[in-house]
Amino acid sequence: MPIRPENKILYPVDWPQISHRIRFERAGGFCECAGECRTHAGPCPAVHGEAHPVTGSRVVLTTAHRNHTPEDCREDNLFAACQRCHLGYDRDLHRLNAARTRVARRTAGMTPLFEE
């Protein structure tokens, strides 16, 4: 997943190399999610570059942080994840960020596009 520009400063300069090592050297191109994403039970069968077994879209492996802290690049904090698993794993964090964004827009006087 692309790193948002405002968050790039949180990642180490060698993040591309770290991420590549996790995804392709350690994981061998396979999703390492074992159900932590709560979208499936057991190991995820997704393989980088192939059709995802559930969605049918082409799998692009990402590197996820177990503790959601980009600065923490310890081996045991990182895992290779297909986009579906990464989004599922980060689901609660995305909800929290969306709620914060809605509050910030309201307090800044912006009108929401849709009813909440």
Does residue 112 belong to any structural domain of this protein?
no
Containing domain of residue 33, as a range? 5-107
Q: How many domains does the chain have?
A: 1
> Does the residue 38 lie in any domain?
yes
CA neighbor of 52 nearest in space, from 27, 97, 85: 85
Q: 114 in a domain, yes or no?
A: no
What residues in the chain have per-residue pLDDT under 50? none
Q: What is the pLDDT of residue 84?
A: 96
Q: How far apart are CA 5 and CA 1, in angstroms?
A: 12
Record the pTM. Answer: 0.81
Alpha-carbon span 102 to 3, nearest angstrom: 21
Enumerate the β-bridge partners of residue 57: none
**How far apart, in whole angstroms, are the C-alpha atoms of residue 65 and residue 107?**
31
Spatial CB neighbours of 38, under 8 Å, sequence gap ≥ 6: 88, 89, 91
Each residue's pLDDT tens digit, 74-104 = 999 999 999 999 999 999 887 887 777 787 7
Helix (H, G, I), strand (E, B) or coil at 99: helix
Residue 116 lies in a domain: no
pLDDT score recorded for residue 105: 78
